[in-house]
């Protein structure tokens, strides 16, 4: 029988036929599509006609289309619905795909054709998008070794293959350690302080596992409420230490040696390409441009945030000592004490918000906000299959009721899903096809008695990921490689982070914050408390993000290969930005998936960088009105629809009229003395 993955899907909008794909389909399908892709590359290389933009770069951009579809399905499912068999397949697929990438990027004949066009680019009549594609492809080849000697190219191939496998293994280890731990409680007294929703979820989980009592796990919807609200300090400690041990235990999932290998290989790869460090290699193509600029950016934020953080920590210690009889605060105390202090300062317990944020209503409200801003409508499809019963699929239409995208949603944790939240795509957008986008989260699931009730933090997470999804769904470019989120990593967080701002606005909250039992709209005094609390402990929160950013850069600078101990290196980098003692059995780096599995190596600073952009951009919405159609249209036209077709600062300035004001972030966070 023909392998379904090697065919054009005979489904609505050519959506992935998840229910028909078998694990054993992947490797044969990938091998066949690699052959077909190489044949497409050969056709470009040995075209007897002189190289032109159309017969070289445009054809290259469309090559390997089916392979891209297959690998998107495989690697997305390995994150959202994995199994030991699927993990084994990804380990087999990674070196095959890395070899293909190198076979293309190190193909001298292909590079020579691209170089010819690149050298003629100033004399050609091309659109700005076509000029960008020439620049991107030429630099992409050079940055992937096109100018190396044959011996150096062979070395690069070996490094890339090993890095691809190490990255997958790192993620598998974190997932395994996350799901290897569970806290089973049988004494009801141990539940004191915990929200009712958390208790019900823990009860349901225990019931599903045929156990008596309550089970708490390291999945975020279980872990975060536990360490934030549990009165039992010893149990908070147990959970916190278990969370911090992921990838750092004396077992088969230990990631320490993997990290050392990754950072040394990245340094070696950068050196091979003529850079002093992986950070130099990465930042050359970012808005920030260099490590020195990033460090100055972080240092400036630190200078503003540190005085506030010190005051906030002193306030926490004083409150813990005087009101909670807690001394010598440890890492498992900070969330608990911070929440108690917030309740006192603002007369506000965030748990009272959860009944106003049932997931179905929040999602529908989000759809309504997006319709007001960008004219999109969402219709749930019963015909298009998901990869798990939890997954829903929506057909997305533009303001003229024309089909514009597919959107998959997957909201709740399960053992087969990695932690965190992310947006991804199953099919890219280009001039001939509309995109298939997915958002994956790990929100509090429904219980036997209630629908899924979100914390306010989960609401902002949903809006954040939906902002990324909008970047994908509203993409309207000619070429896939420049579409949607294919932008600089320090620009990619702008669409996601700006959408979070609507969560704090009365006009937006009134659309979706409805009590799940009574239908009552969230009281205005709660809205005021949400806004009042928005600046709470921003100094400490900023220090936390800065510590991750500094740590990330330190793993990718010119001294990265000198690191001998992951634990000691981490301690050296971030201890000065922390107020609690280091725990010898914990190490954050060994589960730092953003930089060792995801694409944020030497780029974690991007979150703060993009916060400057989003704070500055949202000030315009506040000035004009949060649903002002003219402002929304400008953001759509110059940011959301343009992808990476031009330099991000050019796009931003077209929207805003000027470069971003760095003080906009400080104003929003309250990190400027009033």
Please check whether residue 248 is in contact with residue 586, taking contact to mean a CB–CB distance below 8 angstroms: yes
Please check whether residue 383 is in contact with residue 14, taking contact to mean a CB–CB distance below 8 angstroms: no
Query: How many of the other CB atoms lie within 10 Å of CB of 545?
Result: 18
How far is the C-alpha of 12 from the C-alpha of 9, rounded, in Å?
A: 8
Q: 396: burial class by Cβ within 10 Å (0-12, 13-18, 19+)?
A: buried
Query: How many of the other CB atoms lie within 10 Å of CB of 528?
Result: 13
How far is the C-alpha of 295 from the C-alpha of 280, rounded, in Å?
A: 12
Q: Which residue has the tokens 């909201």?
A: 411
Q: What's the chain's length in residues? A: 674
What does the block give as tokens for 47?
A: 């075209």
DSSP at 301: H
What does the block give as tokens for 41?
A: 């590359």
Kind plus residue range of the DSSP H or E element containing 469: helix 456-473
Please tell me whether residue 381 adopts helix, strand or coil conformation.
strand
How far is the C-alpha of 583 from the C-alpha of 278, rounded, in Å?
A: 29
How far is the C-alpha of 383 from the C-alpha of 12, rounded, in Å?
A: 8
What does the block give as tokens for 62?
A: 């469309």
Half-sphere exposure of 364 (CA within 13 A, CB side): 11
What does the block give as tokens for 181?
A: 């731990």
CA dihedral of 217, 220, 224, 226, whole degrees rounded to 10: -20
Catalytic residues: 465
């Amino acid at each position: 029988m023909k392998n379904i993955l090697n065919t054009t899907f005979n489904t609505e909008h050519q959506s992935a036929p998840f229910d028909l794909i078998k694990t054993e389909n992947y490797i044969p399908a990938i091998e066949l599509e690699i052959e077909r892709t190489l044949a497409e590359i050969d056709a470009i290389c040995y075209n007897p006609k002189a190289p032109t933009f159309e017969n070289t770069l445009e054809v290259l951009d469309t090559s390997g289309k089916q392979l891209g579809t297959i690998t998107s399905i495989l690697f997305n499912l390995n994150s959202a619905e994995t199994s030991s068999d699927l993990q084994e397949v990804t380990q087999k697929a990674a070196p095959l795909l890395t070899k293909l990438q190198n076979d293309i990027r190190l193909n001298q004949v292909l590079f020579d054709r691209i170089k010819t066009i690149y050298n003629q680019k100033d004399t050609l009549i091309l659109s700005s998008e076509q000029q960008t594609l020439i620049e991107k492809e030429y630099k992409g080849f050079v940055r992937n070794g096109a100018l190396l000697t044959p011996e150096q190219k062979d070395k690069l191939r070996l490094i890339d293959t090993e890095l691809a496998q190490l990255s997958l293994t790192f993620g598998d280890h974190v997932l395994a350690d996350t799901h290897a731990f569970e806290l089973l409680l049988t004494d009801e007294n141990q539940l004191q302080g915990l929200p009712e929703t958390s208790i019900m979820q823990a009860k349901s989980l225990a019931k599903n596992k045929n156990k008596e009592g309550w089970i708490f796990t390291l999945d975020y919807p279980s872990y975060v409420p536990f360490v934030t609200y549990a009165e039992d300090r010893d149990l908070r400690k147990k959970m916190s230490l278990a969370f911090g041990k992921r990838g750092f235990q004396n077992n088969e999932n230990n990631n320490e040696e993997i990290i050392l290998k990754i950072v040394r290989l990245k340094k070696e790869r950068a050196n091979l390409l003529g850079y002093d460090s992986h950070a130099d290699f990465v930042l050359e193509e970012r808005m920030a441009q260099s490590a020195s600029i990033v460090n100055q950016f972080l240092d400036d934020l630190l200078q503003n945030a540190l005085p506030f953080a010190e005051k906030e920590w002193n306030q926490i210690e004083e409150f813990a000592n005087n009101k909670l009889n807690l001394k010598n605060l440890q890492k498992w105390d900070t969330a608990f004490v911070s929440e108690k202090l917030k309740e006192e300062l603002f007369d506000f317990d965030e748990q009272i918000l959860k009944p106003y944020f049932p997931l179905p209503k929040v999602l529908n409200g989000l759809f309504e906000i997006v319709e007001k801003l960008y004219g999109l409508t969402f219709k749930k499809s019963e015909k298009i299959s998901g990869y798990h019963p939890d997954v829903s699929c929506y057909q997305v239409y533009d303001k003229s009721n024309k089909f514009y995208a597919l959107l998959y949603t997957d909201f709740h944790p399960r053992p087969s899903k990695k932690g965190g939240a992310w947006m991804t795509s199953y099919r890219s957008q280009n001039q001939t096809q509309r995109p298939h986008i997915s958002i994956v989260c790990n929100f509090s699931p429904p219980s036997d008695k209630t629908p899924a009730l979100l914390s306010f933090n989960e609401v902002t997470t949903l809006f954040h990921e939906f902002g990324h999804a909008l970047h994908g769904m509203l993409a309207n470019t000619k070429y896939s490689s420049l579409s949607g989120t294919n932008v600089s990593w320090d620009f990619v967080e702008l669409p996601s982070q700006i959408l979070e701002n609507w969560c704090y606005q009365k006009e937006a909250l009134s659309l979706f914050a409805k009590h799940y039992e009574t239908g009552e709209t969230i009281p205005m005094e709660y809205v005021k408390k949400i806004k009042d609390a928005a600046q709470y402990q921003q100094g400490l929160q900023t220090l936390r993000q800065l510590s991750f950013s500094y740590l990330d850069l330190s793993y990718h600078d010119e001294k990265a290969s000198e690191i001998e101990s992951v634990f000691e290196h981490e301690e050296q980098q971030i201890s000065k930005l922390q107020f609690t003692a280091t725990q010898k059995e914990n190490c954050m780096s060994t589960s730092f998936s953003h930089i060792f599995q995801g694409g944020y190596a030497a780029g974690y600073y991007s979150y703060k960088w993009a916060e400057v952009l989003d704070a500055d951009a949202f000030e315009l919405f506040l000035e004009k009105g949060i649903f002002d159609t003219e402002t929304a249209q400008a953001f759509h036209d110059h940011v959301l629809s343009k992808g990476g077709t031009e330099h991000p600062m050019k796009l931003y300035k077209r929207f805003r009229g000027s470069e971003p004001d760095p003080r906009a972030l400080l104003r929003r966070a309250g990190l400027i003395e009033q």
